[in-house]
Structure 1
Amino acid sequence: MNNPTGARKGLSLSDPRVRAWLFQVVTVVAVIALGWFLIHNTQTNMQHRGITSGFDFLERSAGFGIAQHLIDYNETDTYARVLLVGLLNTLLASAIGIVLATVLGFIIGVARLSSNWVIGKLAAVYVETFRNIPPLLQILFWYFAVFTALPGPRGSINIDDLFFISSRGVNMPGASMGEGFWPFVVSLLLALVAIVVMVRQANRRFDETGQPFHKFWVGLLLLVGIPGVCVLLFGNPLQWQVPQLKGFNFTGGWVLIPEFLALTLALSIYTAAFIAEIVRAGIRSVSHGQTEAARSLGLREGPTLRKVIIPQAMRVIIPPLTSQYLNLTKNSSLAAVIGYPELVSLFAGTVLNQTGQSVEVMAITMGVYLTISISISLLMNGYNKRIALIER
């Protein structure tokens, strides 16, 4: 007897939805089973070899120094502190590298499309040269052929008695918190909030009345004026120390060690070559009719590129740009070759050798890199979703 109209049909593998759910369930079960097998097998092998497991080693004293640390650190601190120091060093190199690579990549990408033959060819030579040299070789070149080849501290390059460039790195004036530091931070946050409110109000006014507003100058006035008044009331937020040569090295101020400089420059220059091609492809993807329409309205080439072409090209640029940011962050682990104290060098290198907790150390290291990569992806995907075209 046929089912009456509206009756529920039975489960059948001929139904695509049933097959889809079945394949997903089977996949999840298989992944869980594989994970359980690997964990059980690892624990069994470690027990047979008398290797202890657990994360108690993180509370033990490290007993070694670190050349660069953004937070207070000494040899008596724990391995957990070493993990944090390595993480911050990795994030510092990655963040600065991403900014430099983005700026340089956009400049080179636009230059490749220049009508000037010399500029276009120079940009092409840059791209074809640096993207075809492995990043490890570029790091080694900057470290051994450039920075370590500089003269020692006594023969350093002196710039206005403020900056000293030597084989020990770049020494520069360093800042420490003054009595007006926290009021200055609060005033800066208030200025940023005021700028956001002002921009939104100006945009709403423009949409309703068509009257423009000098957002840039008003924003600049707020950004300078509010913190400036705070400095007058509470004093200087920062106290500066100038580096001085004492003995065989400099004391005081900040120092950018050669390992950090070599890593940052190499990764920035290498990644910028790929970003340049992404930018060039994104600009090429915009219809030439957009350029002709902008010219018919009297826009010059500069405003046309900034206000018409680039905003539309960003929808094509962002997805592959995210991949390059992830690659740069992961390539920072190559710094272990030149001894830069980043996550892999400190934690997966020194800490692993001292403690022998290979499984735990590698699990933590991979988990940290996974978290960093997912965070970058979420931020870039959120921005990509924000600028995506919305059909009406």
Structure 2
Amino acid sequence: MSDTAADPRLLRAPPRQGIRLSWADERFRAIIWQVLIVGAVVGIVWWLVRNTQHNLEVRRIATGFGFLQREAGLPIAESLVTYTPASTYARALLVGVLNTLKVAVVGIVLATVLGTLVGIARLSKNWLLSRIAATYIEVVRDLPLLLQLLFWYTIMQTLPAPRQALNPVTGVFLSNRGLRLPWIQWQDAHSFALLGFVFGVVATILYARSARAKRMQDGQPRRVWPAALGLMVVLPVVIWAALGAPWQGDIPALRGFNFTGGSNMSPEYFALLAGLVTYTAAFIAEIVRAGIQAVPQGQWEASEALGLSRGRIMRMVVLPQALRVIVPPMTSQYLNLAKNSSLAVAIGYQDIVSIANTTLNQTGQAIEGIAIIMGVYLCISLSISLFMNWYNARIALVER
């Protein structure tokens, strides 16, 4: 090796030049453009705020969120928390937020399950099953969502009355009053049992990770299912029994002209959920199909050579690899489902949009009402994005 190559002084990076106050300097130009853009944005925002304040003063419209503490006098058909028309507007808007979350969370879960099954069926070697899945995908994706929501709501309205309700399964009734299902009389003991189950799930996941790490160290397999059984089944049951929760279910029964007992899904909620799930599942199915086809064919051939069945290959080999392709576009569909739930106002379901619209019509606080709607959907969308980005990072390949 020559002395020139070995001289450490020649290996140093060249000194960084300072910014020249000249338009020819790239960094100087970048700073000027950034200052101009930020200044333009601040100026536009300032003009909008001043213009809005001036118009409100001219029209003598009060601003602020003080109206939230006033009595709402607004009837709401269904709510997850206690509510009466004598409650405040803040309580009414809380009911709207919870109703929106009830649609978004349940819809995301059901759309994921249905979309995954349809996407796998789309790739089935059974010609009839594959054609049915393809027809479902093409038809549902090509029809406007609003039209589909009206279609499902019309179906619910044309169902028979409670006395002639459809009874496909014992304890399940479908009528123009909605879908009535068996349920339990929820008490505090049930809540503690549910918390125990959630704790058991988390503890099982941590134990499984610990067992996997120890197996990588000493090569000794460790059974996870006994711990999972104790934490996820035995623990909640013990909490349930110790706190004296009732074991019998609340079965719906016809009393007069309507049903009593059980849990009821209103026609509006059922139509909204059915429309959102079937519509979003069609897009998810295509994402799942593309993700599965992105896995190299050699993975199938190698798994078949090991004697694995096609179902186990799909579940244990292909889908885990396909998730790296599926998750990013799936996030967009989850966001679309949450935002599309705002169409609930078209069929009379009282979500945050419906309740906020009624509130701003009664109080005249249009700006505050729109701001509340935007804030709610922004929080929901950011929460979905954060969770999906975290999950995507968890399953991403890490280079060594």
The TM-score normalised by the length of structure 1 is: 0.91
Q: Structure 1 counterpart of 2:106, which letter?
A: I
Q: How big is the shift at 1:190? A: 4.2
Q: Structure 2 counterpart of 1:54, which letter?
A: G
Q: How big is the shift at 1:83? A: 0.8
Q: Structure 1 counterpart of 2:376, which letter?
A: V
Matches within 5 A, 1:132-147: 132-144=142-154, 146-147=155-156
Tell me how far apart the structure 2 counterparts of residues 330 and 280 of structure 1 sit (CA, whole Å). 24
In the alignment, does 2:62 pair up with 1:62? no
Tell me how far apart the structure 2 counterparts of residues 326 and 5 of structure 1 sit (CA, whole Å). 48
Distance change (3 Å), C-alpha of 1:354 and 1:205? same
Tell me how far apart the structure 2 counterparts of residues 185 and 237 of structure 1 sit (CA, whole Å). 14
Matches within 5 A, 1:1-392: 8-144=18-154, 146-158=155-167, 162-178=171-187, 180-181=189-190, 183-216=192-225, 218-236=227-245, 240-347=249-356, 349-392=357-400
Q: CA RMSD in A?
A: 2.3
Q: How big is the shift at 1:318? A: 1.1
For structure 1, list consecutive stretches of 5 or more residues without a partner in the other structure.
none
SS at match of 2:270: helix
The superposition leaves residues 277-299 of structure 1 with CA deviations (integer Å, 9 ceiling, x where unpaired) of: 11111122222222233333333
The superposition leaves residues 216-255 of structure 1 with CA deviations (integer Å, 9 ceiling, x where unpaired) of: 4541343111222233333226774443434432334321
Q: How big is the shift at 1:107? A: 1.0
Tell me how far apart the structure 2 counterparts of residues 161 and 304 of structure 1 sit (CA, whole Å). 37
Q: Structure 2 counterpart of 1:38, which letter?
A: L
Distance change (3 Å), C-alpha of 1:235 and 1:159? farther
The worse-fitting range, judged by mean Cα deviation, of 121-130 and 294-303 is 294-303
Distance change (3 Å), C-alpha of 1:143 and 1:21? same
The worse-fitting range, judged by mean Cα deviation, of 165-174 and 134-143 is 165-174
The superposition leaves residues 362-392 of structure 1 with CA deviations (integer Å, 9 ceiling, x where unpaired) of: 1111111111111111111111112112222
The worse-fitting range, judged by mean Cα deviation, of 227-236 and 376-385 is 227-236
Q: Is the 8 A contact 1:179 1:235 kept in 2?
A: no
Q: Is the 8 A contact 2:197 2:231 kept in 1?
A: no
Distance change (3 Å), C-alpha of 1:257 and 1:111? same
Q: Structure 2 counterpart of 1:55, which letter?
A: F
Q: Is the 8 A contact 2:251 2:261 kept in 1?
A: yes
For structure 2, list consecutive stretches of 5 or more residues without a partner in the other structure.
1-13
Q: How big is the shift at 1:303? A: 2.3
Q: Structure 2 counterpart of 1:110, which letter?
A: I
The superposition leaves residues 302-325 of structure 1 with CA deviations (integer Å, 9 ceiling, x where unpaired) of: 222222222222111111111111
Q: Structure 2 counterpart of 1:310, which letter?
A: L
Q: Is the 8 A contact 2:100 2:351 kept in 1?
A: yes
Match of 2:5 in 1: none
Distance change (3 Å), C-alpha of 1:338 and 1:193? closer
Q: How big is the shift at 1:301? A: 2.1
SS at match of 1:62: coil
Distance change (3 Å), C-alpha of 1:18 and 1:108? farther
Tell me how far apart the structure 2 counterparts of residues 379 and 16 of structure 1 sit (CA, whole Å). 38
Tell me how far apart the structure 2 counterparts of residues 8 and 363 of structure 1 sit (CA, whole Å). 45
Identity over aligned pairs, percent: 50
Tell me how far apart the structure 2 counterparts of residues 233 and 307 of structure 1 sit (CA, whole Å). 39
Tell me how far apart the structure 2 counterparts of residues 183 and 281 of structure 1 sit (CA, whole Å). 42
The worse-fitting range, judged by mean Cα deviation, of 174-183 and 382-391 is 174-183
Tell me how far apart the structure 1 counterparts of residues 120 and 192 of structure 2 sit (CA, whole Å). 42
Q: How big is the shift at 1:332? A: 0.6
Q: Structure 1 counterpart of 2:278, which letter?
A: I
Q: Structure 1 counterpart of 2:43, which letter?
A: A
The superposition leaves residues 27-81 of structure 1 with CA deviations (integer Å, 9 ceiling, x where unpaired) of: 2222222111111111111111122211111111111211110100000011111
The TM-score normalised by the length of structure 2 is: 0.89
